[in-house]
Structure 1
Amino acid sequence: MPKMRISKEPELRRNEIITAAQELFLTQGFEETAVSDIVKRVGVAQGLFYYYFKSKDEILDAVVEQMSVEYFDEWNRIEGDDLLNAIEKLQTIFKSMFQILAQHQKLVLYIHTESNELMHYRLGQKFINRMITLFAAIIEQGNREKLFEVDYPQETAEILVTGMGYMPSIFRLSDEPQLFTKKLQAGLGVFEKALGAAKGSLQIGQFLELGE
């Protein structure tokens, strides 16, 4: 039997299928999207889908990977910036996270819907695992710089990051600015106490415009 002819570069075609799947998962839900919907969006035969992916579940992993790359690259850059102390790194990371909420609020909320429960779980686990590693490293840096006083950096990072998983349901950009600011102050206050950081060291001024 002759091999299937692929007119485009394999990696390019694979990325097209992933992008189409991501668009469909986010607009009509993972459970409601069939493989036939994905190949129809791309304009290829269903057999080509299975040339690259064993199942819809496998392409979900690829979608999650693609969605996380942009943010992970930014966080890696922040973590490796030797010019920033631990507090400055946390401030920069928090700012990037609130920018994600501001720029992609509808997307974030849609991922949290029941029809995207599996996608939400996979994406959440990937983000949580990366953020725990990131926060643990920053906490250890803060200990060395005498900015933090944390006995168990890894465990503290796990607790703080797990709590951050509720951010989209707590920090609603539709809130009145005053309420948004109060929530932000409370959240950063929890971080300061958990890290043994000076009160007010995680300044919030740079975030306030996101709640307006």
Structure 2
Amino acid sequence: MFKNTKEKILSKAEELFCLKGYEKTTIENILESCEIGKGTFYYYFKSKESLMNEVIENSIGSFTDDAKKIVNDKNLSALEKFKQLILGQTNSMDNKEWMLNELHKPENSKMHQKSITETILHLTPLLTAIVEQGISEKTFNSKFPKETVEILLFANQYIFDTGIIVFTVEEYLIKAQAFVYSMELLLGVKSGTFNYILEHFENTLLNRGELNEKELQ
């Protein structure tokens, strides 16, 4: 199942972080789950924090690998690829609430900044390739594909990352609508093309209990 001991430690640690939370997970818990001794753990990692850092890096790398498969799928149109990649990213982060909680702590600000930077650097060429495909298919219209993607990624990270600026639910809903509207204008697509992003955002808030059906009406 695991290629090596380090891979096993990373996998088991992420499971425990998700189950118990980062703070409540001890190195002893990780040792027991992996059936290894302290010497083995410290051979690969200096601390629990360095372990978490690598778990985050691996998570970004794993999503990037999945995204590349979507981008390289010749059977998908640009719009189909865009939808799969965007929803894939949001679903991935929805399932890693523990990671978001840790990144939003003041003491992890450097790691938080790194995760944002790495995410943008990894996603930019992939989304740019999709936009360029969309331009050739005449479904997208942009003179600056790469720069447009960068603007959208930066806006997405800094508007919707609650560890940077906190808005009310009502403010988030308005900003989500404005973001999708701007996104459609910048990419030159028909109005309503990216409504699925709004729907996903609203469903996430509903599932978290931060929003009710009446507020959407």
Task: Please report the TM-score for the alignment, with normalisation by the length of structure 1.
Answer: 0.70
SS in 2 for 1:28: coil
Alpha-carbon offset, residue 20 of structure 1: 6.0
Listed as ranges, the matches of 1:3-152 within 5 Å are 11-19=3-11, 27-28=22-23, 38=27, 41-42=30-31, 44-53=36-45, 55-56=46-47, 59=51, 62-152=54-144
SS in 2 for 1:78: helix
Alpha-carbon offset, residue 203 of structure 1: 2.7
Distance 1:82 1:211 in 2: 34
Q: Deviations over 1:31-68 (max 9, x none)?
A: xx9xxx64773165554345335x45865553233222
Structure 1, unaligned runs of 5 or more: 1-9
Aligned counterpart, 1:209: 203
Q: 1:168 aligns with which of 143, 147, 161?
A: 161
Distance 2:172 2:89 in 1: 15
Listed as ranges, the matches of 1:187-198 within 5 Å are 187-198=179-190
**Percent pairwise identity:** 25
Alpha-carbon offset, residue 141 of structure 1: 0.9
Check the 8 A contact 1:20/1:42 in 2, yes or no.
no
Alpha-carbon offset, residue 140 of structure 1: 0.9
Distance 2:77 2:165 in 1: 26
Q: Deviations over 1:102-158 (max 9, x none)?
A: 433453233222132233233222211111111111111111111222112122222
Check the 8 A contact 1:156/1:194 in 2, yes or no.
yes
Distance 1:38 1:17 in 2: 11
Check the 8 A contact 2:31/2:37 in 1, yes or no.
no
Q: What number of residue pairs does the alignment pair up? A: 194
| Pair 125,21 (structure 1): closer, same or farther in 2 beyond 3 Å | farther
Check the 8 A contact 2:10/2:55 in 1, yes or no.
yes
| Pair 102,192 (structure 1): closer, same or farther in 2 beyond 3 Å | same
Task: From the CA coordinates, give the structure whose radius of gyration is larger.
Answer: 1
Check the 8 A contact 2:127/2:149 in 1, yes or no.
yes
